[in-house]
Chain A
Amino acid sequence: MKIHNTTGGRIFDAANYVFLSLVGIITLLPFIYVIAGSFATEAEITRRAFFVWPEQFTLGSYEYIFSTPAFTRALVTTVLVTAVGTLVQLAFTVTMAYPLAKKTLRGRKVILSLVVFAMVFSGGMIPTFLLVKDLGLLNSYWALILPAAINPFSLIIIKNFFQELPQELEESAKMDGATEIGILWRILLPLSKPVLATFALFYAVGIWNDFMSPLLYLSDNSKWTLQMYLRQVTAASDLLGTGNVDPAYIPPEQGIKFAVIVVATLPILIFYPFLQKHFAKGMLIGSVKG
């Protein structure tokens, strides 16, 4: 498809490219600083305000983190929980979103209102904890997945997306004798790749970054997730933890904090580029026409 480009269009493109490149740099630089800092000594971090390459390269911070035996276990555990959890949460959400996208379904408005209501109101941390406890989910990984199984916000957006899909698809499929579930599985889902990819990412990030749930629900130290672990390392210097720090405690060095951020962030950062291919334009056309 050739797009005829005017001079105005070319100037716009050039300006756009420059602008976006700048945006890319501005967003990348601080992270590079963090990475650089994770390989630097405490003295250098204190001495130099901002740098992108350490003068004195050291692996000390990473050694410290990886030296604890439970660390790799936590890493593997977290990856598994995130993978399973994302699938489960996505499955719950999609199966609920599809019926709600049918405007003729009775009870739809009521359910949606209840969903929206649940989006703004919640019982709070302690009642939720007691519920999880009574369901016997304490110390189980399911406590990290089920309580957040459906994010009302995600549900609504996915539902809306299904609503936007052309009716003709379904109608022609129905005429061919397909069941509702068949339609969902064979037609709608493949078309929804961008949206599914987006929310797979959102859910994955949600589980990955969640340190509150493991903190509250997992008492067995061998079941720890990465975030809990890593939060702990930076806890004393993190503002949220300064409430009750024992004055005898000396916080970890800044290099270690940086290394912690890198290890906690990099895996999930890498996830997105893999999803990007689902964001390619024109997914819809082929399916409708063909």
Chain B
Amino acid sequence: MTAPVIATEAGERAQPPASAPRKRGRFSVHFAHYKWLYLLLLPGVVYFAIFRYGPMYGVSIAFKDYVPFLGVNDSPWVGFQHFQDFFSNPDFPRLLGNTLILAFLNLGIAFPLTIVLALLLNEVRLSILKRTVQTLVYIPHFLSWTIVASLSFLLFALDFGPLFLFLNSVMGTNIDFLSDPNWFRPLIVLQEIWKNTGWGTIIFLAALSTVDQDQYEAAIIDGAGRFRRVWHITLPGIRSTIIVMLILAIGQMLNTGFEQIYLMTNALNRSAADVFDTYVYFVGITQGAYSYSTAVGLFKSLVGLVLIFGTNALAKRFNQSGLF
């Protein structure tokens, strides 16, 4: 922790809450000293209060049987009914399993790949190539999942798709990747990598551009090879960015995004494909269960929150900067 600017702060924290006037005095000194900062803070805080916390009462929809016509206040209260239904749903273990497996696969594979790609791009000295590939690589992010799914159907089509034929000839098998539940997850992760890795590199590239170039020079003079330079300078240079992105990614873990999965699901691979998000969409649309989907969303948010605070604390343990 940086040394406190105001000497009294350390002393103040060590003591139990003192009598009111003395503390108020301390704060107003602090406030006066930092008043510009608080002023800068004001618009943002007001924004959060109004636009983010204002509608927060909507969370109560998860505990009601919400009918839009009746409004939030007059919709009947059902307490934890939706949560009970959700957890006791016989599909729940399968949904949980599928969601978690996909989440871990994405975290374990797609996330590191994004960093690797950013590093590889960073190592390119031919400016034309670097800028071209950088620009191309994030195009897939803008294509909708509908297109990605369409292309996947094309590439992996039974008996016809080029990738179907190629992969099966290499592996010596006859697998229908589009309907085999065992291949559903690899396919999803592959799609995710293709679509979002490029976009994900942007943040890391921005971070990489702030790494102190002098260190590289010094390392080269010391005879460090490419790999060692990356390991000892580049990676540590973007470490805090990696950690923040990792924490945020973990916090988003349960959000698999339903559109991609929905498009790739069919009767034959559903056992591996059903996740929370598709389930909620399905239920929300087909059964108008606004409250139910809000309840599931609440559950996921809660888990996300715990994960964020948890991993953040973990990062702090290892003396990293974490989220806050």
Q: Does A114 sit within 8 A of B, measured CB to CB?
A: yes
A239 touches B259 (CB 8 A): yes
Q: Which residues of B lie under 8 Å from residue A16 when comparing CB positions?
A: 120, 123-124
B residues in contact with A56, CB < 8 Å: none
Residue A128 contacts which of B55, B134, B148, B220 (CB distance < 8 angstroms)?
A: B55
Pick from B4, B48, B50, B213 the residue with the most CB of A within 10 Å.
B48
Say if the beta carbon of A70 comes within 8 Å of chain B: no
Contacts of B211 in A (CB 8 A): 281
Task: Sample 16 A-B pairs with CB under 8 A, ordered by A number.
Answer: A16-B123, A92-B47, A98-B40, A103-B2, A108-B324, A116-B323, A119-B251, A120-B304, A123-B58, A157-B245, A160-B244, A181-B36, A194-B207, A239-B146, A269-B139, A284-B210
Check if A247 is an interface residue, CB within 8 A of chain B: no
B contact residues around A34 at 8 Å (CB): 143, 147
Nearest Cβ on chain B to A192's Cβ, whole angstroms: 9
Q: Across the interface, which residues of B come within 8 angstroms of A243, CB to CB?
A: 285
Decide if A67 is an interface residue (CB 8 Å cutoff).
no
Chain A residues engaging chain B, CB cutoff 8 angstroms: 1, 3-4, 6, 8-9, 12-13, 16-17, 19-21, 23-24, 26-28, 30-31, 33-34, 49-50, 92-93, 95-96, 98-100, 102-106, 108-109, 111-124, 126-128, 130-131, 135, 146-147, 149-150, 153, 155-157, 160-161, 163-164, 167, 179-181, 184, 194-195, 197-198, 201, 209, 238-240, 243, 261, 265, 268-269, 272-273, 276, 279-285
B99 sits at the interface (CB 8 A): no
A134 to chain B minimum Cβ distance, whole angstroms, is 9
Q: Which one of B79-87, B89-97, B125-133 is at the A interface?
A: B125-133
Tell me how far the C-beta of B61 lies from the nearest C-beta in chain A, rounded to whole angstroms.
Answer: 6
Measured in the bound complex, the distance between the Cα atoms of B120 and A8 in whole Å is 15
Chain B, 42-59, CB within 8 A of any chain A CB: 43-45, 47-48, 50-59
Interface 0/1 of B100-143, CB less than 8 Å to A: 00000000000000000100110111100101111111111011
**In the complex, residue of chain A having the shortest beta-carbon distance to the beta carbon of B195:** A27
Given A99-B38, A114-B53: 5 more A-B contacts, CB < 8 Å:
A116-B308, A121-B301, A124-B58, A150-B48, A239-B259
Interface size bracket, B side: 35 or more
* Complex-state Cα separation, A181 to B35, whole angstroms: 11
Chain A residue with minimal CB distance to B127?
A: A280
**B45 in contact with A111 (CB, 8 Å):** yes
Q: Which residue numbers of B lie inside 8 Å of A, CB to CB? A: 1-2, 4-6, 9, 27, 30, 34, 36-38, 40-41, 43-45, 47-48, 50-59, 61, 68, 72, 117, 120-121, 123-126, 129, 131-140, 142-144, 146-148, 151, 154, 194, 198, 202-203, 205-214, 217, 220, 225-226, 240-241, 244-245, 248, 251, 259, 262-263, 285, 294, 298, 301-302, 304-305, 308-309, 321, 323-324
Taken together as a complex, chains A and B put the C-alpha atoms of A199 and B205 apart, in Å, by 13
